[in-house]
Amino acid sequence: MTCECQEIVAFRDITKIFPPGILANDRVSFGVERGTVHVLLGENGAGKTTLMNILYGIHQPDGGTIVLRGKEVRIPSPRVAIELGIGMVHQHFRLIPNHTVWENVVLGFPRVPRFFPASQARQMIRDLSKEYGLDVDPDARIWQLSAGEQQRVEILKALLRKAEILILDEPTSVLTPKDVERLFLVLQRMKEEGKTSLFVTHKFSEVGEIGDRITVLRKGRVVGTVPRGEADFETLATMMVGEKIVLSLPKKALSPGRPLLRVEDLWVLDDRGFPGVRGVSFEVREGEIVGIAGVVGNGQRELTEALAGLRSPLRGRILVDEVDITAWSPQKVREAGLAYVPEDRRMALVGDLTLAENLFLRDYRKAPFRRGILVDWKKVREHAEEMIATYRIVPPVPQLPVRLLSGGNRQRVALAQVLASRPRVLVVSNPTAGLDILATDFIHRLFLSLQEEGVGILLVSGDLDEILALSDRVLVLYRGTVLGERKRPQSGWSEEDRRDIGMMMGGVPGERLVMVR
C-alpha cells in the first residue's frame, strides 16, 4: 500500500533494559505512517507493551531515539506524551471504579471549569460520543459498565485530549466479538480523520482485519515490518515464534467415562448481591475436557469459586463423583477430589514465601508434612524437589521466593500445588493468561496428559483458541447462563462452529443448539 503520507512516528534503535538484566527492547527500529492502523504483533513477553510505554512516557529508553513528526523528541512523562498528541488505551484499564465516567474522562484536563465542572464535562463527553460512535452514559459509575463500555471511556479520554496517535494495548482481550467489530469501526473513523493508531496484539487472527502494516517483535527485537497484503498467518506465526511451530496439539479423541463432576441448576450471587450464575447445569466426565467459553465478567468467577468452595451457591447442587459437595469448605472440596487453580495467582501463591513453602501450602495440614503441631521441613523439601523435577520449574531452587519466578513458572507451581494429590476433577481458570507460547504449550500438553489419565478437566477461559484447541465439549457462558453447547466433531472444529461460538459469546444464541442429554 504505497502512499505519500509521511512517517508520523519512528523508533530508532530503542533499547530498554530492566534489572537484573532483562533486555526488553533491543534496538527496535521501525516507522509508522500517518493515518494508518499499525499493528505491533508479538507474543506475551516480546516487549510490545514496554515499547508503547516508552512512547507514552512511562519508561525511559536506555538507548535510541523517538522521532515524532520529523523531530527527535524526549518523552519523560505521560504529560509530555499527551501534549505531543499521543494517547494510550492500556491493557488493564486505568480507570477509577468508584467514580463516574465524566470524572474519569475529565481527570487532570485543564479545559473544564474549576468549580462545578460536572455539566460541562457531561456535554463534552456527549459531543465526542456522537462524533465517534462511542456511546456511554457520562453519569454511570465505572464498575457498572461492561468491559466494552469501559474501553470506550478509555478511548474518550484520549480523544478529549486531542490525541493524534492512539496506542491500543491488547484491546480485544476482554471484548465480545461484537465489541471488537465496534472498536474496528471507531478505528476506521479515526483513520478517516487522519489519526494514527498503534494496535498491539498477540492474536494474529485480528491482524488481517484491521492492520495496514504489521511489525513483528520477538524477544525484544524487530523481526520485520510488512504491509498487510504480504503476510499470511503462517509467516506471521513463524516470525513471532522464530521456528516452525506446530500449531496443533496432539488432541486425541477419547471416550469419556462416568460423570465426575455434575452441576445442577446452580445459582450463585456475585459480590454485589446480584445473581452471577443463573441456573447453570452441566457435567464433566472421566477423561473429558469441558471448556467454558465466554468473555470475562459473565459469571465465570462466581462459577469457579462456587465449585472450589469459596462461595456458597444460592441454589443448586454440585456433585463430585456423586458426592454432594455444595457449599463445602475449600479443604473439604479438595479432599473430595476437586482441585482448583485460580486465575488470580495471588490466591494460590504467596510471593514472599519460598518455592518449597508454596508447593506444600495447599496440603500443609496433611501428613507427611505435619507431625502433630510441627512442620516436617525435610519432607517439605523432598516434596519440593520432586515437584520441581516433574513440572520442570526453573530456577530449581527450593529456597527461592516465588515472586522471583517468571509467570510461566509460577503457573507451574500453582498446578503442582494441586496435582500432587491426584485429583479427579481439575477446575482451571484462564491458566495461560499472560504466558508466552512455550509456557502455554507446556501447560496445554499437561492438560492433555491428565486427560489421558482419566482426570476430568473444566477449562474456563476467555481465549477461544485455547478452548477450541483443548476441549471435547464447549459451553458458552453469557450473563450467567449457558447459552449453548457444541461438541467437538471427529474431524475437528469447523469455521462454522467457531463462528457460532463467537456469536454466543456475544450473546447471540446459535441456530443449532446441540444440548447434551
Considering only residues 292 to 311 of the shown chain, the ones binding another protein according to CB under 8 A are 308, 310
Contact of 312 with 320, CB cutoff 8 Å: no
- Enclosing H/E stretch for 167: strand 165-169
Q: State the nearest-atom distance from the C-beta of 12 to another protein, in Å.
A: 8
Q: Is 342 in the site for another protein (CB under 8 A)?
A: yes
70: contact with another protein by CB under 8 A: no
Which range binds another protein by CB under 8 A, 174-182, 205-213, 363-371, 455-463?
363-371
The only residue of 1, 3, 22, 96 in contact with another protein, by rule CB under 8 A = 96
Residue 108 binds another protein (CB under 8 A): yes
Shortest distance in whole angstroms from residue 71 CB to another protein: 13
User: In whole angstroms, what is the distance from residue 361 CA to residue 481 CA?
Assistant: 34
Q: Does 391 bind another protein (CB under 8 A)?
A: no
Contact pick of 5, 63, 130, 392 for another protein (by CB under 8 A):
63
| Piece in contact with another protein (CB under 8 A), picked from 238-246, 289-297, 317-325, 356-364 | 356-364
Quote the CA–CA distance of 166 and 164 in Å, as a whole number.
6
Rounded to a whole number of angstroms, the minimum distance from the CB of residue 211 to another protein is: 25
Decide if residue 281 touches another protein (CB under 8 A): no
Distance (Å, whole) CA 292 – CA 277: 13
For another protein, give the closer residue by CB, 103 or 485: 103
Find the shortest distance in angstroms from Cβ 483 to another protein.
29
Of 233-272, binders to another protein (CB under 8 A) are 272
What nine digits make up the cell of 41? 504483533
Total number of residues shown for the chain = 517
**71 sits near another protein (criterion: CB under 8 A):** no
Laid out side by side, the sheet with 221-227 consists of 86-89, 165-169, 196-201, 37-41, 213-218, 221-227
266: nearest Cα among 450, 475, 471, 454: 475
Which residues, at least 6 apart from 130, have a Cβ–Cβ distance to it below 8 Å? Answer: none
d(CA 447, CA 458): 10
Q: Does 103 bind another protein (CB under 8 A)?
A: yes
Residue 79 contacts another protein per CB under 8 A: yes
Contact between 378 and another protein per CB under 8 A:
no
The rounded distance, in Å, linking the Cα atoms of 111 and 319 is 59
65 touches another protein by CB under 8 A: yes
Only one of the segments 31-39, 109-117, 286-294, 383-391 lies at the binding site for another protein (rule: CB under 8 A); that segment is: 109-117
- 17 lines the binding site for another protein (CB under 8 A): yes
167 versus 455: smaller Cβ distance to another protein: 167
Per CB under 8 A, does 139 bind another protein?
no
The count of other CB atoms within 10 Å of the CB of residue 217 is 26
| CB closer to another protein out of 302 and 485 | 302
Interhelix angle 118-132/147-160, rounded to 10 degrees, is 100
User: At 481, is the secondary structure helix, strand, or coil?
Assistant: strand
- Residue 27 neighbours by CB under 8 Å, 6+ apart: 13, 14, 15, 63, 64, 221
**Candidate segments 37-45, 58-66, 383-391, 464-472, binder of another protein by CB under 8 A:** 58-66
Site for another protein in 113-132 (CB under 8 A): 113-118
Contacts to another protein from residues 394-453, by CB under 8 A: 401, 404
Q: Quick check: 78 binds another protein (CB under 8 A)?
A: yes
Within 477-496, the residues that bind another protein by CB under 8 A are none
Q: Is the peptide bond before 117 cis (omega within 30 degrees of 0)?
A: no
Q: What secondary structure letter does DSSP report for 231?
A: -
Hey, which residues does 313 pair with through a beta bridge? none
DSSP E strand stretches across 334-415? 338-341, 370-371, 374-375
Among positions 11, 48, 52, 59, the unique one binding another protein when judged by CB under 8 A: 59
Under DSSP, is residue 353 helix (H, G, I), strand (E, B) or coil? coil
Size of the site for another protein (CB under 8 A): 74
Run of H or E including 196: strand 196-201
